[in-house]
Amino acid sequence: MINQLKIHQLQIETKTAFKELENVYKLLASGNKLEIARNTRSLIQRDFVTAIIFEYLKLLEESKKPSKLAFDFNDASVLVWAEIEDDDEGMETMLLVAEAKINAQFQNCGFCMSSTIVEKGDDLSIPNHYKVFIE
């Protein structure tokens, strides 16, 4: 950890540090506890959401994928929008089991996954606030 701090110091001094790294150290130096907590929460949220989505995609890796797949997140949930073929109960079950596995794995982290599964015949568009992964 000490070595990493020294590397960060050198990067900041030589102006080779990423802007985000500089901002973190400026924030820490400011002593603004509320802003430090907000920033820390944002970084933690980003890391957990990324980990949850990667784990979910790994669970889907070996099977047929839904025809459409999109993600969104809020303070405590990763939201999944999946469109499957009409009456494809096998795909629906697979998606729900993947969600259950994610929820079991990340339950102690304060995050969960919630899926919306629609069929092609429902003729629904992916909501605008979701980020499309498969379309």
Q: Can you tell me which residue has the tokens 């701090």?
A: 5
Residue 30: both structure tokens together: 């400011």
What is the chain's alpha carbon radius of gyration, rounded to the nearest angstrom? 20
Which segments of the chain does DSSP mark as H helices, in order?
2-13, 19-30, 33-60, 89-106
Distances (CA, A) of 35 to 11, 21, 89: 23, 15, 47
Contact 8, 2 (CB under 8 A): no
pTM value? 0.79
Q: What is the full per-residue pLDDT of the chain (135 aa) written as tens digits?
A: 899 999 999 999 999 999 988 988 999 999 999 999 998 888 889 899 999 999 999 999 878 899 999 999 998 899 999 999 999 999 999 999 999 999 999 999 889 999 999 999 999 999 999 999 998
